[in-house]
């Protein structure tokens, strides 16, 4: 068995069965190895994308964030620019879907505006590099409570390689989140 395949199988067998991310990207110029060995936080809520100055862009969206960082909701409340100005190393998968809808959302499909996915990996403080979900990747949402409760769903993504290699990397998994009332105002990558 090859080393990358054995690592993928090992990662899939670890952690909370409700929150799983399977996939791997080797270290790059500004990122560590991206391997979600454990999910420290799995949260959902509503947020509006913001430009570099922090001004709102577009409509509020449903956001799911899975990360190796514990207590992420509290950290985002204390530091809304967490994803743009990393206080230290972390990995996060950020899924964005239309608010108020259940079903399967496909990145790039005209009827699913705003659907997006990013993996953000920070290897050192204040250095982040996003991997973007590519067209035809999907996010499926089976439950989305507006307050409290758990959002549930799954995803199958191809993410780009930000280093210009032309390669894409597969990631898939499922989520069962906790509601985070403080996501609005968070500066997403």
Q: pLDDT by residue (tens digit) across 45-77?
A: 999 887 777 788 888 999 999 999 999 999 999
pLDDT of residue 125: 65
| Percent of all residues in the chain with a pLDDT value above 70, rounded to a whole number | 89
Which helix (H) or strand (E) segment is 4 a member of?
A: helix 3-13
Q: Per mean pLDDT, which of 27-36, 127-136, 148-157 is the most reliable? A: 148-157
Say yes or no to pLDDT of 1 above 60.
no
142-186 tens-digit pLDDT: 999 977 889 999 999 999 887 777 788 999 999 999 999 988 888
What would the mean pLDDT of 10-22 be, rounded to a whole number? 69
What would the mean pLDDT of 1-19 be, rounded to a whole number? 52
Say yes or no to pLDDT of 12 above 70.
no
Which helix (H) or strand (E) segment is 128 a member of?
A: strand 127-132
List the domain boundaries for the chain: 3-179
For 40, 69, 189, the CA distances from 15, given in Å and listed in that order, are 10, 14, 26
Pair 117, 152: CB distance under 8 Å: no
CA distance 41 to 64: 10
């Amino acid at each position: 068995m090859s080393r990358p395949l054995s690592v993928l199988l090992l990662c899939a067998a670890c952690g909370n069965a409700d929150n799983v991310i399977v996939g791997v990207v080797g270290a790059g110029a500004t990122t560590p190895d991206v391997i979600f060995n454990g999910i420290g936080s799995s949260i959902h809520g509503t947020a509006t994308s913001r430009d570099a100055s922090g001004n709102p862009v577009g409509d509020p969206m449903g956001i799911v964030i899975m990360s190796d960082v514990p207590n992420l909701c509290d950290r985002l409340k204390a530091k809304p620019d967490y994803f743009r100005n990393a206080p230290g190393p972390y990995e996060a998968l950020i899924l964005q879907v239309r608010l108020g809808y259940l079903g399967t959302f496909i990145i790039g499909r005209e009827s699913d505006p705003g659907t997006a996915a990013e993996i953000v990996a920070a290897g050192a403080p204040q250095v982040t590099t996003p991997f973007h979900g590519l067209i035809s990747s999907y996010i499926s949402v089976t439950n989305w409570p507006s307050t409290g409760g758990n959002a549930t769903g799954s995803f199958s993504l191809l993410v780009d390689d930000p280093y210009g290699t032309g390669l894409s990397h597969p990631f898939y998994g499922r989520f069962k989140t906790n509601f985070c009332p403080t996501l609005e105002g968070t500066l997403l990558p």
